[in-house]
Amino acid sequence: MKYALVCGAGGFIGHHLVRRLKAEGFWVRGVDLRFPRFGASEADDFVVGDLRQQGFVASVVDRHFDEIYQLAADMGGAGYIFTGEHDADVMHNSATINLNVLDAAYRRNCRRIFYSSSACMYPEYNQLDPDNPKCSEDSAYPAAPDSEYGWEKLFSERLYLAYARNHGMQVRIARYHNIFGPQGSWNDGKEKAPAAICRKIAEAFDGDAIEIWGDGRQTRSFLFIDECLEATLRLTRSNWTGPVNIGSEEMVTIDQLVDIVADIAGKTVGKRHIAGPTGVRGRNSDNRLIRERLGWAPSAPLREGLASTYAWISRQVEGQHYSVAAE
């Protein structure tokens, strides 16, 4: 029997990761401030608590784990991390979690630990041209992320690398690029572009216009959750530290993303571009390194993941209408 610890198991990626590890036969402990919001956790043991508390962290890292996944962070979509309103919390909370979890893992001799960094740590100056963003792993320095969220990720990457260098920890670092899928935030202010667009289109009547932050020409790539989990497990079990991009190279503008979802929904929707937090002008994953090192690349087109995400979100929207009507 192998043992895994998932920190952030109540969150979007952590919840799915627990399910995947269970399917592989692991005994899994999940830890989070809260239980998953959409469906019960499949973890053998789920501990609700605050990873900012050193004593609590020591109590959950109380045995040997073959694999530790550190996904807990204070984060959200553009409406959460780019407005500046949550900067102190984002930096303090996430850095404290990483300091605590990594050190507790070291003190228990749990050497293999995965850390979820983000493409938000890449310098803004390489992402000004929406058609040609540069996000190769070696372009991280000179550092200039466009948010405190990105700076914290960069600090924590360095923290993990320092523990690898000085303490022999087998750290594995991924830079995730916009992971999406069912059972993620969709209406709580922390949702990201794919979920927000799916919700707006699910709520719209045929012919309505939906609001889009910015001019719609900013570019991004989006990776479906199942692909993300596959790459995460491959990286964790490899002999390679990273940091490495885990993302898709299928870059689209936000307007194109809207068009794909509208097509899936079978609706005609107009676009009303409004001012809002948008982040960098362009971003795309650069998968050359992960292809070379792990032989991994996404297996399905963006549209496929969006179809299942839209189906799930439109069910949530319908359920919401039903509960309002029933009151």
**Catalytic residue list contains 80:** no
Residue nearest to ligand NAD (CB): 11
Q: What is the distance between the alpha carbons of residues 201 and 154, in angstroms, rounded to a whole number? A: 35
For residue 283, the tally of other CB atoms under 10 A from its CB is 23
Written as one letter, the residue type at 92 is: H
For residue 195, the tally of other CB atoms under 10 A from its CB is 25
Nearest-approach distance from CB 208 to ligand NAD, in angstroms: 27
Active-site entry in 69, 80, 122, 149: 149
Using CB under 6 A as the binding rule, whether residue 285 contacts ligand NAD is answered as no
Nearer to ligand NAD, 111 or 153 (CB): 153
Using CB under 6 A as the binding rule, whether residue 81 contacts ligand NAD is answered as no
Stretch that binds ligand NAD, among 28-36, 161-169, 256-264, 308-316 (CB under 6 A): 28-36
In sequence order, which residues have a C-beta less than 8 Å from that of residue 327 and are 6 or more positions away? none
Using CB under 6 A as the binding rule, whether residue 116 contacts ligand NAD is answered as yes
Query: Binding residue for ligand NAD (CB under 6 A) from 3, 22, 27, 33?
Result: 33
Binding mask 38-77 for ligand NAD (x = CB under 6 A): ------------xxx------------------xxxxx--
Cα dist. 71→15, 75, 85, 189, 277 in Å?
10, 11, 22, 19, 24
Using CB under 6 A as the binding rule, whether residue 32 contacts ligand NAD is answered as yes
Binding mask 186-225 for ligand NAD (x = CB under 6 A): ------x---------------------------------
Query: Binding residue for ligand NAD (CB under 6 A) from 118, 248, 287, 316?
Result: 118
Query: Binding residue for ligand NAD (CB under 6 A) from 5, 6, 14, 262?
Result: 14
Q: Tokens 């890292």 sit at which residue?
A: 61
For residue 153, the tally of other CB atoms under 10 A from its CB is 30
3-state helix vs strand vs coil in the chain, percent to 5: 45, 15, 40
Query: Binding residue for ligand NAD (CB under 6 A) from 4, 5, 8, 232?
Result: 8
By the 8 A CB rule, do 102 and 113 touch? yes
Beta bridge partner(s), residue 223: 179
Task: Tell me the HSE value of 125 on the side-chain side, using a 13 A CA sphere.
Answer: 6
Nearer to ligand NAD, 34 or 327 (CB): 34
Q: What is the distance between the alpha carbons of residues 287 and 244, in angstroms, rounded to a whole number? A: 8
Size of the site for ligand NAD (CB under 6 A): 25
Which residues are identified as catalytic?
149
Query: By the criterion CB under 6 A, which residues form the site for ligand NAD?
Result: 8, 10-14, 32-34, 50-52, 71-75, 93, 97, 116, 118, 176, 178-179, 192
